[in-house]
Amino acid sequence: MITTVQQYLDKGLRGLWYPVLASWEVQSAPVGITRLGEQIVIWRNKDGQLQALEDRCPHRGARLSMGWNLGDRIACWYHGVEVAGNGEVKDVPAVDKCPLVGQQCVRSYSVQEAHGAIFLWFGVTAEQQPEALVFPTELADGEAYSNFLCTAAWQCNYQYALENVMDPMHGTYLHSSSHSMAEGDRKADMVLQPTDTGFIFEKKGQSGINFDWVELGNSGACWMRLSIPYKKRFGPGGHFFIVGMVVPEDNDNCRVFFWRIRRVQGWQRAMWRFMYRNHLEKLHWDVLEQDRVVLESMAPDARDHEYLYQHDVGLSRLRRMMQKAAKEQLAMREEQQGAA
Ligand code: FES
Ligand SMILES: [Fe+2]
């Protein structure tokens, strides 16, 4: 039973769409995952459309993800109960006229697939309808921009992954040997600026040199955006953009999604995509590994014993925003329980 605001936050804020897997990770076989502490099964029906259900057979609780994809439904491995994508039991092959048939007994999730990823809606309450999901321009405008998605599982609470991106100063230190982040001041004043969907956090008087600004936004999903100026030899397209999202798995694990983006059209697009696959992707994985290694080995309960300084106002703001949202969501849940 969740009691405190921090315990609620550790599981993940709700009222949001989250990317849960890359599209290529779900083919016809059912896939079982844990996200926001919930066990979920995802599969594609015979038209290739995604279905997502609570990963729990209504009969005795076996994991449906261990079962069979029958196209419009999934069959439990244990005794063969068949459940449709909307959570309705379609057949109980072991008995005639079973009263379970026709009942809606498994929770289903709203799903959408976009920009190479699978998104699920996690409502604050079971009744909360999904909000519209609006992507940052660099993803939404596929004509002007081109992207590669990379995703990885990290063994740390998702808040560390969020806070890491909202901390642009780590780039000049942690990634000082990397191809793209070796420049820029190793000291800087940081300033915050509100936006319509969140805020921008940047190095004062230093823009266009390194990883020197980062934005947090919420437009149906929570995302982060930053840009890194690139030298000509890394191909066409001006700044290199990154849009990042993080989904909690459980208290100690999360999944990160980073779209690497450049503004490229025509032959430049083809050239960049070729260069990226053959050369840049490996360099970016190296940078991401530096983040992972540091975050996975943080002191136990690191967030409880910190001495924050001026560079950390971005993450302090982020924490305040999240605490506020968590309080509101807990209140919504209590209200709903009271009404029930
Ligand atoms: S537990 Fe699934 S059919 Fe029995
Ligand atoms: Fe980093």
Per-residue pLDDT, averaged over 284-292, amounts to 93
**Alpha-carbon distance 241 to 139, whole Å?**
10
Q: Encode pLDDT of 62-84 as tens digits.
A: 999 999 999 989 999 999 999 99
- Measured from the Cα of 60, ligand 1's closest atom is 1
Q: Encode pLDDT of 188-210 as tens digits.
A: 788 899 999 999 998 877 666 66
Distance 56 CA to ligand 1 centre (A): 9
**Alpha-carbon distance 308 to 163, whole Å?**
13
Distance 76 CA to ligand 1 centre (A): 6
Look at residue 339 and give its three-state secondary structure. Answer: helix
- pLDDT band, very low/low/confident/very high, at 231 (cuts 50, 70, 90): low
Per-residue pLDDT, averaged over 135-156, amounts to 96
Check if 56 has its Cβ closer than 6 Å to any atom of ligand 1. no
Check if 204 has its Cβ closer than 6 Å to any atom of ligand 1. no
Topology adopted by domain 15-122: Rieske Iron-sulfur Protein (2.102.10)
Residue-level pLDDT at 331: 95
Q: Say if CB 219 and CB 197 are below 8 A apart.
A: yes
Residue found under tokens 């909202």: 166
Question: 316 to each of 100, 166, 312, how far by Cα in Å?
Answer: 50, 10, 6
Residues of the chain with pLDDT > 90, as a percent, come to 73
Residue-level pLDDT at 235: 65
- pLDDT band, very low/low/confident/very high, at 176 (cuts 50, 70, 90): confident
Residue-level pLDDT at 250: 97
Q: At what angle do helices 158-165 and 313-339 cross, to 10 degrees?
A: 140
- pLDDT band, very low/low/confident/very high, at 339 (cuts 50, 70, 90): confident
Distance 32 CA to ligand 1 centre (A): 16
Check if 79 has its Cβ closer than 6 Å to any atom of ligand 1. yes
CA-closest residue to ligand 1 atom 3: 79
Lowest-pLDDT choice from 5-19, 85-99, 219-233: 219-233
Check if 199 has its Cβ closer than 6 Å to any atom of ligand 1. no
**Alpha-carbon distance 76 to 69, whole Å?**
9
- Measured from the Cα of 62, ligand 1's closest atom is 1
Q: Encode pLDDT of 258-282 as tens digits.
A: 999 999 988 989 988 998 899 888 8
Per-residue pLDDT, averaged over 35-64, amounts to 97
Question: 329 to each of 13, 14, 305, how far by Cα in Å?
Answer: 8, 8, 26
Q: 184: closest CA among 142, 219, 126, 229?
A: 229
Residues of the chain with pLDDT > 70, as a percent, come to 93
Residue-level pLDDT at 147: 96
Per-residue pLDDT, averaged over 131-148, amounts to 96
Please indicate, yes or no, whether the overall pTM of this predicted structure exceeds 0.85.
Answer: yes
Distance 290 CA to ligand 2 centre (A): 7
Mean pLDDT for all residues in the chain: 91
Residue of 55, 70, 79, 89 to test ligand 1 pocket, by largest number of atoms within 8 Å of CB: 79
Residue 182 has pLDDT above 60, yes or no: no
Q: Where are the domains of the chain?
A: 15-122, 137-322
Residue-level pLDDT at 311: 83
- pLDDT band, very low/low/confident/very high, at 283 (cuts 50, 70, 90): confident
- pLDDT band, very low/low/confident/very high, at 229 (cuts 50, 70, 90): confident
Residue-level pLDDT at 236: 65
CA-closest residue to ligand 1 atom 1: 60
- Measured from the Cα of 94, ligand 1's closest atom is 3
Check if 105 has its Cβ closer than 6 Å to any atom of ligand 1. no
Residue-level pLDDT at 263: 92
Residues, Cβ < 5 Å to ion ligand 2: 291
Residue-level pLDDT at 178: 73
- pLDDT band, very low/low/confident/very high, at 233 (cuts 50, 70, 90): low
- pLDDT band, very low/low/confident/very high, at 180 (cuts 50, 70, 90): low
Residue-level pLDDT at 169: 83
Residues facing residue 245 across a β-bridge: 257
Superfamily of domain 137-322: Naphthalene 1,2-dioxygenase Alpha Subunit; Chain A, domain 1 (3.90.380.10)
Please count the other Cβ atoms lying within 10 Å of the Cβ belonging to residue 204.
11
